[in-house]
Amino acid sequence: MGAVAGACTKVLLNEKNEKRATASTIGETVAEITREKGPLGLWAGYSASLVLAFNPSMTFLLQQMLKRVLIAPQKWNKPGQQATFLLAALSKVAVTSVTYPLQLAKTRETSGLDSIRRQSSDREGLKYSE
């Protein structure tokens, strides 16, 4: 249920479009985005946002899977504070490691950092590469 709510929130409140909506009506914002980037621009960054909305769910799922693998079945209901903490920490590190590139790409896309770097490199006669 939480994952569905997160996905709906990302659809309705895409951060990039939310910033623009504060200065004008929704209709003007939609027109501006489609004029600049075409109709698909309305969903720019959406796929990364959607995956990131599932981050807490993936963390919890991995924690439960690790608990089943690493903890004795008799202790599954009450694994203890230390075990719970370690499982949660391992899960968070693993999921963040997988989703970090998406976070970085989304941040660069919404901030315009990549286009600024490319423009700067082009002016200096350098090729942009990561």
What is 50-104 written as a DSSP string? HHHHTHHHHHHHHHHHHHHHHS-GGGSS---HHHHHHHHHHHHHHHHHHHHHHHH
Provide the pLDDT for residue 123.
Answer: 53
Provide the pLDDT for residue 40.
Answer: 78
Provide the pLDDT for residue 61.
Answer: 95
Provide the pLDDT for residue 125.
Answer: 55
**Mean of the pLDDT values across residues 24-29?**
78
> Is the pTM value of this prediction over 0.85?
no
pLDDT in tens, 58-111: 999 999 999 999 999 999 889 899 999 999 999 999 999 988 888 887 777 766
Question: Could you give the 3-state DSSP secondary structure of residue 127?
Answer: coil
pLDDT at 24 over 70: no
Whole-angstrom Cα distance, residue 40 to residue 111? 18
Whole-angstrom Cα distance, residue 66 to residue 88? 9
pLDDT at 56 over 70: yes
